[in-house]
C-alpha cells in the first residue's frame, strides 16, 4: 500500500470574472514510503495547487472536487481542524518557495520551533522550555545551521538560512512525507545546490518520502527517483528519473529536456515550441499540448489522451501509443 495515494484529484479556483479555473485535473499519483519524487512543468501548470491539495492546505477560492487522497490508508480530505492537527504530527508537511513567507517575522527561530511543537503536542505532553531548546538545537543541526541561529529573527538571516529554517520547522513534527514546493527557486545557484544537497541527505537519513516541485528539470532529475511531468493541470508523464535523460518521451517532456541544464530555464519559454500554456478555464478538448506540439495528429485535437502504462511508468499521448513505438527503438538521444 502506498504511503500517500491521490486518485482523480481535481482542484478549481473560483474566479469572480470568469468561470472556474481548473488548476489540477484528474491527477492520480502515489508515493511509497521513503520515495523521492519530482514534479516538473512550466509555471502555471498546477504544481503548487497540487502540493496544497496533497498537504490539506488548500484555502478558498480553491476547491477540491471529487477524487480521494489517502495517507497511510486513511482518507485525509475534509478532516476537522483537530484531526488535521493530529495528521500534521508524523503526517505530511509542506515547505514553500520563500522561506520568509513561512516564517513569523516577530519570532526568533527557537520560539518559532517552540510554537510548532506546542501547537501540535497532545495536551498532556506540552514541551517544557528546556525540551524546546534541546529539540530546536537538534533541528538546526539537521539542517546544518549553527546554534546561534536560534536567537535570530527571520530578517537577520540570508535567503539560504531562511530556507533551511523553514525546512527545520517542517521536520519538527517528524513528517513521513514532505512536499517541497520550489524550495530553492529564490536562491542563487550555489546556495541552491547546497540546500538541495541538504534536502537529499535529510531524506536519505530521516527516510521520509518527498515530493520535490520545480519548474527546473535539472533540479528534479539530479535528486529524485521518479519524475512526474505536468502540463495544463494534468500529469502527462511519470517515469524513473534515470530514464528521462534518454529515449522517447512525451513531446512536452522532450521540450523540457531541451532546456535541461540551462541556467535560464525559468525564463525560457520553450522557445522551440510556439504558443502558450492552455487556458485553464476552458474544458480541454483533446490534448491540451496539441496546439504547441509538432507531432500532433488529428486525434490529438479531438480526444483527450489518458495516462497509460508506458516504458517503466505512465504516459498520456496519442502519438506515443503502445504499438507505435516500442522500447527497443526508443533510445534515440534527445
C-alpha closest to that of 145 among 154, 186, 119:
154
Q: What cell was used for 65? A: 472536487
Closer of 49 and 288 to ligand ADP (Cβ): 49
The residue from 10, 35, 38, 49 that contacts ligand ADP (CB under 6 A) is 49
- How many other CB atoms are there within 10 angstroms of residue 313's CB atom? 17
Q: How far is the CB of 48 from ligand ADP (least distance, A)?
A: 3
Q: Which does 280 bind (CB under 5 to 8 A by kind): ligand ADP, Mg ion, none?
A: ligand ADP
Window 241-300: residues binding ligand ADP (CB under 6 A)? 280
Q: Is 45 a binder of ligand ADP (CB under 6 A)?
A: yes
Q: Is 47 a binder of ligand ADP (CB under 6 A)?
A: yes
Q: Is 153 a binder of ligand ADP (CB under 6 A)?
A: no
- Tell me 244's DSSP state: H
Q: Is 178 a binder of ligand ADP (CB under 6 A)?
A: no
The residue from 3, 4, 9, 23 that contacts ligand ADP (CB under 6 A) is 23
| Residue 64 parent element (H or E) | strand 62-65
Q: Which does 13 bind (CB under 5 to 8 A by kind): Mg ion, ligand ADP, none?
A: ligand ADP
Q: Which does 234 bind (CB under 5 to 8 A by kind): Mg ion, ligand ADP, none?
A: none
Window 22-61: residues binding Mg ion (CB under 5 A)? 47-48
Asked whether 12 and 63 are in contact (CB, 8 A), the reply is yes
The residue from 9, 21, 161, 178 that contacts ligand ADP (CB under 6 A) is 21
Q: How many residues bind Mg ion (CB under 5 A)?
A: 2
Q: Which long-range contacts (CB under 8 A, 24 or more apart) does 156-159 make?
A: 158/191, 159/99, 159/100, 159/186, 159/187, 159/188, 159/191
Give CA 155 to chain center in angstroms. 26
Q: What cell was used for 110? A: 527557537
DSSP 72-97: TTEE-TT--HHHHHHHHTTSEEEE-S
Q: Is 303 a binder of ligand ADP (CB under 6 A)?
A: no
Stretch that binds ligand ADP, among 37-45, 188-196, 199-207, 262-270 (CB under 6 A): 37-45
* Start-end of H helices in the chain: 47-54, 81-88, 99-102, 109-120, 129-142, 159-171, 189-206, 217-223, 241-244, 251-258, 298-302
Closer of 11 and 139 to ligand ADP (Cβ): 11
Positions touching ligand ADP (CB under 6 A) are 13, 15, 21, 23, 41, 43-49, 61, 280
Positions touching Mg ion (CB under 5 A) are 47-48
Amino acid at each position: 500500500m502506498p504511503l500517500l495515494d491521490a486518485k482523480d484529484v481535481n482542484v478549481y479556483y473560483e474566479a469572480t470574472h470568469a468561470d472556474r479555473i481548473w488548476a489540477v485535473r484528474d491527477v492520480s499519483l502515489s508515493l511509497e514510503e521513503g520515495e523521492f519524487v519530482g514534479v516538473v512543468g512550466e509555471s502555471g501548470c498546477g504544481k503548487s495547487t497540487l502540493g496544497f491539495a496533497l498537504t490539506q492546505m488548500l484555502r478558498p477560492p480553491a476547491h477540491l472536487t471529487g477524487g480521494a487522497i489517502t495517507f497511510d490508508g486513511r482518507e485525509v480530505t475534509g478532516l476537522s481542524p483537530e484531526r488535521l492537527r493530529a495528521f500534521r504530527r508524523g503526517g505530511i508537511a509542506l515547505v514553500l518557495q520563500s522561506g520568509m513567507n513561512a516564517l513569523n517575522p516577530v519570532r526568533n527561530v527557537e520560539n518559532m520551533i517552540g510554537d510548532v511543537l506546542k501547537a501540535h503536542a497532545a495536551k498532556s505532553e506540552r514541551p517544557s522550555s528546556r525540551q524546546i531548546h534541546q529539540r530546536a538545537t537538534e533541528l538546526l543541526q539537521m539542517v546544518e545551521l549553527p546554534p546561534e541561529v536560534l536567537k535570530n529573527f527571520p530578517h537577520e538571516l540570508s535567503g539560504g538560512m531562511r530556507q533551511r529554517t523553514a525546512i527545520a520547522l517542517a521536520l519538527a513534527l517528524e513528517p513521513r512525507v514532505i512536499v517541497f514546493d520550489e524550495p530553492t527557486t529564490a536562491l542563487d545557484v550555489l546556495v541552491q545546490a547546497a540546500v538541495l544537497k541538504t534536502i537529499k541527505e535529510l531524506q536519505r537519513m530521516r527516510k521520509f518520502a518527498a515530493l520535490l516541485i520545480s519548474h527546473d528539470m535539472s533540479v528534479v532529475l539530479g535528486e529524485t527517483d521518479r519524475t512526474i511531468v505536468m502540463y495544463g493541470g494534468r500529469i502527462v508523464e511519470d517515469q524513473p528519473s534515470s530514464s528521462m535523460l534518454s529515449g522517447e518521451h512525451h513531446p512536452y517532456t522532450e521540450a523540457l529536456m531541451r532546456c535541461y541544464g540551462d541556467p535560464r530555464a525559468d525564463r525560457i519559454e520553450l522557445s522551440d515550441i510556439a504558443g502558450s500554456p492552455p487556458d485553464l478555464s476552458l474544458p480541454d478538448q483533446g490534448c491540451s499540448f496539441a496546439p504547441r506540439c509538432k507531432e500532433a495528429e488529428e486525434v490529438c485535437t479531438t480526444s483527450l489522451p489518458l495516462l497509460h502504462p508506458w516504458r517503466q511508468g505512465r504516459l498520456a499521448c496519442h502519438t506515443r501509443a503502445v504499438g507505435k513505438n516500442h522500447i527497443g527503438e526508443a533510445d534515440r538521444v534527445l
